[in-house]
Copies of this chain bind each other. A is one copy, B any other.
Amino acid sequence: MREAIEAEARRKLIEVARGDAPADTLLKNARLVNVRSGEVHDADIAIFEGRVAGFGDYEARETRDLKGRFVCPGLIDAHVHIESSMVTVPEFARAVVPRGTTAVVTDPHEIANVLGVPGIRYMLDASEGLPLRVFVMASSCVPATDMETSGAKLEAADLQPLFDHPRVIGLAEVMNFPGVFLGVPEVLAKIEAAGDRPVDGHSPGLTGPPLNAYAAAGIGSDHECTQEDEAREKLRRGMHIFIREGTTARNLEALLPLVTPHNSANCSFCTDDRHPEDLLDEGHIDALVRMAVARGLDPLTAIQMATINTANYFGLRGLGMVAPGYRADLVVADDLADFRARQVWVAGRVVAEEGEYVGPRPKPPAPPGSGVRVKWEGLGLAVPAAGDGRARVIQAVPGQIVTGQSVEKLRVENGQAVADPARDLLKIAVIERHRGSGNLGVGFVRGFGLQRGAIASTVAHDNHNIVVVGASDAEMLAAARAVAETGGGQAVVADGEVLAAVPLSIAGLMSELPLEEVRDRVAAMGEAARRLGGTLPDPLMTMSFLALAVIPELKLTDLGLVDVGSFQLVPLFVS
């Protein structure tokens, strides 16, 4: 899509393109993956002041012989929550740029739930000066429900000023899909505020008339499809499909059969949420390209889905292809069947080389604060037994964000319902951490296996209160205090001692540590949990979804247990 280039820059670019002034750089002997003409062709690519000037044998200040290597446009992630990387935007860039990603469209939904608009502005500020173009969709669903306390509440009027920022390009995934198809005025007002900008969707399993209504409201995309038929129904209704392959939600294999030569232009790739380990081991959008090609997708189509299709959907001007006038954001690779970035260029400069980030490291803005404010005085996790002691218990499911539920007769000591590690019945608490309200939800959970100790985290979608699971109230409080003391974080505690932890001092979501260290600390926490008897492969990840009241079946917020099926708060004890 055409970009309005500043007049003097355009004049000079034209001068270079017609051959009357030297280019900055000439990439000779490239095999260009031309996502526009839909072919791979030989090209010498002239670059000037960050843009492609033309193809041909240009005079240039610097010439590089690519010796027949492939060049394709920089990859674009259509939908990602950077917070899930648990690191700052520059650290995230350091991880994904060497993989070939040169632009992302992010929904700062997590930090918005903690810090509101200042959190969104922090993410915008933190992405200045990076060789990664970070486009922001204004977070549409803060808080996610009214059965929880988050750090902010964003109405249409709060979002409106964000659209004046040149990198805020639309409205982020409207997770409140019932609010859309039921025509709730506050929800429609946010769509209204977006004007004719793109509005992303999030409508797992939505079908029939409600889906028609959701699409008719102007929702332009969906990244929550898990079934081919579901995706086809949405595509038929005009929605652009983002095929997602994240850490938890992995849909690429199921959705790939959807893609045909007649509709591939309306499909893109996204990661949504990728944790540090996956970013480092698997990669980013490059991993989706490899997976798709390995599963039979034509490499050119896969690269189109990772570049131009996404640029077109979002109207990202000057991005998504390597062509005169477009930004010189490109990836050099040896192989399209096993696509790996050898070299990455952004705005005409090498920013990654053989997997190493060599781009600029601008001074990041001051951290926006942790957003941890807990009323500790009088905070006790004791649960007086009631009725016959039968209670609703959350059933954690390994590797899933859904839970089961059961009714169990709890162990009672001195009139208090307590954890019973022998039966894998642990206590879980959600401690409100944004306003110091003293709000506290306490319940019981099965599936963690801890025999002693406790695990706490300030990452708890979407409200990001402190969630803590443990074998005793004392250990749980110790763990909760441990994460609060680092200004947010995650910790595994036993016998009053922190066994492993990661500080997440930025909104309680992101660390100021390098990505590798965060990855190692997360692994160490898993190991610590296993030493305490833990049985889940990734207890912190599982725990981070136990407060997410929009995902079935039984969840816990700072206001209490939520039966997601009936979408209401329910008492702990059954009567």
Contact = CB atoms under 8 A, between A and B. Distances in A.
B324 A238 contact: yes
A326 B218 CA distance: 9
A194 B192 CA distance: 26
Contacts of A39: 236, 260, 262-263
Interface string A2-14: 1111010011011
Interface stretch (A48-56, A64-72, A433-441): A48-56
Contacts of A395: none
A39 B263 CA distance: 8
A211 to B, nearest CB: 8
**Number of copies of this kind of chain in the complex:** 2
A325 B218 contact: yes
Given A2-B218, A11-B188, A324-B238, A38 B213 contact: no
Interface stretch (A177-185, A357-365, A456-464): A177-185
A199 interface: yes
Contact of A14 (B183, B298, B312, B315): B183
B37 A236 contact: yes
Interface string A208-222: 111111011110100
A326 B188 contact: no
A511 interface: no
18 contacts: A2-B198, A10-B191, A14-B180, A17-B181, A19-B209, A37-B262, A38-B261, A38-B263, A39-B236, A51-B216, A53-B216, A54-B211, A196-B317, A215-B325, A216-B325, A217-B325, A236-B323, A238-B325
Which one of A34, A315, A321, A324 has the greatest number of beta carbons of chain B within 10 Å?
A324
A192 B36 CA distance: 24
Determine the interface band of chain A, counting residues with CB < 8 A from chain B.
Answer: 35 or more
A309 to B, nearest CB: 9
Contacts of A235: 36-37
Contact of A188 (B2, B10, B215, B237): B10
Nearest to A185: B11
A212 B261 contact: no
Interface in A144-191: 180-183, 188-189, 191
A54 B262 contact: no
B181 A212 contact: no
Contacts of A391: none
Nearest to A11: B183
A140 interface: no
A20 B63 CA distance: 65
Contact of A265 (B188, B265, B326): B265
Contact of A209 (B11, B56, B189, B211): B56
A504 B17 CA distance: 44
Given A4-B195, A218-B325, A262-B304, A213 B41 contact: no
A182 B17 CA distance: 10
Nearest to A12: B183
A261 B301 CA distance: 10
Which one of A10, A199, A216, A217 has the greatest number of beta carbons of chain B within 10 Å?
A216
B196 A4 contact: yes
A56 B196 CA distance: 27
B237 A18 contact: no
A121 interface: no
B2 A196 contact: yes
A210 B19 CA distance: 8
A386 to B, nearest CB: 41
B232 A37 contact: yes
Contact of A323 (B195, B196, B237): B237
A507 interface: no
Given A54-B213, A55-B236, 9 more contacts: A2-B198, A4-B194, A14-B213, A14-B216, A37-B235, A38-B261, A41-B236, A236-B323, A238-B323
Contacts of A80: none
Q: Which 9 A-B pairs have the closest CB atoms?
A: A38-B262, A54-B212, A238-B323, A261-B261, A38-B263, A17-B213, A216-B324, A18-B213, A215-B324
Contacts of A192: 4, 7, 10
A209 B323 CA distance: 13
Contact of A208 (B14, B56, B298, B317): B56
Contacts of A216: 10, 13-14, 17, 51-54, 324-325
Interface in A76-92: none
A229 to B, nearest CB: 12
A513 to B, nearest CB: 40
Nearest to A48: B216
A544 interface: no
Contacts of A7: 188-189, 192
